Structure 1
């Protein structure tokens, strides 16, 4: 069977399965990035807090999720979550093994890992904001909410965007690790196709090419977003 037949969308081809798996990879990465944004912004705020306990908690989060291998974190969430759910089920009188949804586990595990890196991006972006801008906003009578919405968030977003592009690329590649718990994303689909056809080299090359396409397209989108933000910033003084 030639390459075109292997990658066709017919009954004997794997094109549809790989395309669906690529969509799952993007969906998983987006979900993980949202989880990471919530966790990362919270941790960044804790690290910037004047309270020592909050700073220690933020540092502990970063050390934990940046120091433990990503695959181990996924296993802990998947099998540990199953154990916790099983214990709760038994406590209520249930029996048997309670499985954990692979997508939910993957989005949570990869998202929390992503959050440990996003926290540093947000913290650095906040420290890069000129304090004079916040002082000027206070001087003209802006409330705290107005200063955050009109001054702080736009400036932090401007400085954080390049770093978030790097975190996105890292999270996209980390999503391949979720294949070990059974979620059929791009890596898992490539493995299944390779094992079924014995065309290991072909499908792993195709899988790698799909990741390159995804990273290339997403990198281009982040570049466009950065350019638009810069143009907006340049127009602001003349508005």
Structure 2
């Protein structure tokens, strides 16, 4: 699979100077990290959007503080703060409870950190999309006797996705590129693999360009999937406009 990708990009396995497996592992790590972080971010985004639209003032305040903090502090600073604070808190807890020392797995830390950061951006994406759903649709579902969970799943969510997908696509692309930051907490992602290969072969520029091309291939494949999702959720609207 990786060799086919390289051939598509016009590169041969010989030109990798034996670092093909390392780059393949780094690419797979980046894809896994991005996908798992996306799940966490979407979940936090839905919870955050629900809190911002809640009638409970405390929930609205907490959600506002969350999005303001995340959007106002650089991702790199947040990643370092969250990663090291989590380890510090966990160490303090194990010492207090007299448990054995527990070290946070870098992959889990990367997923939680990226998911927490980009959950704030998804919060605003979903909040705007929910507000864009005609209120009459929700009132009609309520009059029909649907419960709150059923209203969201059957009526709100499909229409919300139609408005949210452009924002989801943008957030996904930014988050995919932000996975390069996890190398600072010891995770062997694509950027870390490219750096190691480049330093070992004294061809750092070459391997960084190769990493950039692999990122471009992943984002291009993501665009295809996003366009398919947009057509799927907008299928009914085009017939209605005609």
Q: How many residues align?
A: 232
Report the alpha carbon displacement of residue 174 of structure 1 after superposing the two structures with TM: 0.8
How far does residue 88 in structure 1 lie from its aligned partner after superposition?
A: 2.5
Mapped partners of 2:240, 2:22: distance in 1? 47
Give, in angstroms, the shift of residue 78 of structure 1: 2.1
Q: Are positions 1:17 and 2:22 aligned together?
A: yes
SS in 2 for 1:100: coil
Deviations 1:55-89 (A, max 9, x none): 11111000111111111111122222222222223
Consecutive unaligned residues of structure 1, counting only runs of 5 or more, are: none
Deviation, 1:136, is 2.2
Give yes or no for the alignment of 1:196 onto 2:200: yes
RMSD of aligned residue pairs (Cα, Å): 2.2
Tell me the residue number matched to 2:211. 207
Distance 1:29 1:156 in 2: 23
Residue 13 of structure 1 deviates from its aligned partner by 1.2
Q: 1:137 aligns with which of 141, 150, 153?
A: 141
- Which residue of 1 is the match for residue 86 of structure 2? 81
Q: Which residue number corresponds to residue 45 of structure 2?
A: 40
Distance between the aligned counterparts of 2:175 and 2:57, measured in 1?
30
User: Do the aligned partners of 1:6 and 1:14 also contact (CA within 8 Å) in 2?
Assistant: no
1:52: which partner in 2? Answer: 57
Q: Return the match for 1:5 from 2, 9, 14.
A: 14
Quick check: 79-88 or 24-33, which moved more? 79-88
Mapped to 1, the partners of 2:102 and 2:139 lie a distance apart of: 54
Please list, as runs of the form range in 1=range in 2, the aligned pairs for 1:53-132 lying within 5 A after superposition. Answer: 53-93=58-98, 98-132=102-136
- Shift of the 131–197 alpha-carbon distance from structure 1 to 2, 3 Å rule, reads same
Distance in 2 (CA, whole Å) between partners of 1:51 and 1:143 is 20
- TM (normalized to structure 2)? 0.88
